[in-house]
A = this chain, B = another copy of it.
């Protein structure tokens, strides 16, 4: 297919062989200016306040106040984001709240060196993992397809499916943390095998993300980094 450039306000031109074009954000679109840029949220049904809370003003935090995060807040987050969609309604994500001093120490020792101070500062650290045996719950969560579990006999196929769907669930969880008025600091840099041995000794869960959760300190957020503009991300066929 050949590439054509379009503006978002144009009709999509019909091209032989379904031409493939890009949406233009602005004529010189490139990388977006850092910072929320749409006060009015045109085209959204979501309120500007909610758009700011979840996306536009929300921001990854690296340092936190000492204000604690309660189990009730985690319950509220779960009760919200559990409704978000996954393939086959599979729910492989598991969340381990690392609360005791011993568990915190064991986790922080397994973080990349550059992540330790961030985690030390967080009132709550959570390990996100996926359950290799998520398929055992498919008969419960997908009752209209009672044979769905049978397609997951091989652990490798389960790991691949769980990895994708738990990544989506992790994204929903981060949005949920913000919905609770908290800030998240997700970190991928840690010794996954070491964390799994320590926290999931039965070998049935695989960690993939550690998330600091709390109220951001006044100086706890870096300047926002640029985002790719529309024309770099969206094309039309």
Residues of A within 8 A of B (CB): 1, 6, 8-9, 12, 14-15, 17-20, 23, 25, 30-32, 36-38, 41-47, 49-51, 53-56, 58, 60, 71-85, 87, 89, 91, 93-103, 106, 127, 137, 140-144, 163-165, 167-172, 174-175, 179-181, 184, 186, 188, 198-199, 201, 208, 222, 224-228, 230, 232-237
Contacts and interface: CB of A to CB of B under 8 A. Distances in A.
A8 B199 contact: no
The 5 A-B residue pairs with the shortest CB-CB distance in the complex, in nearest-first order: A43-B76, A45-B181, A171-B171, A18-B103, A50-B50
B230 A181 contact: no
A23 to B, nearest CB: 6
Contacts of A75: 8, 23, 25, 43, 230
Contacts of A87: 186, 188
- The secondary-structure label for the interface of chain A is mixed
A71 B233 contact: no
13 contacts: A8-B71, A9-B72, A12-B97, A18-B103, A50-B54, A51-B179, A82-B228, A83-B227, A97-B234, A97-B236, A137-B232, A140-B226, A143-B225
A103 to B, nearest CB: 4
A141 B181 CA distance: 26
Contacts of A20: 96, 199
A51 B80 CA distance: 7
B234 A201 contact: no
Given A31-B141, A79-B37, A85-B184, A237 B167 contact: no
A143 B14 CA distance: 39
A237 B84 contact: no
A234 to B, nearest CB: 5
Given A8-B71, A97-B235, 10 more contacts: A9-B72, A12-B99, A14-B101, A38-B80, A74-B234, A89-B227, A91-B233, A137-B232, A143-B226, A199-B237
Contact of A45 (B53, B85, B141, B237): B53
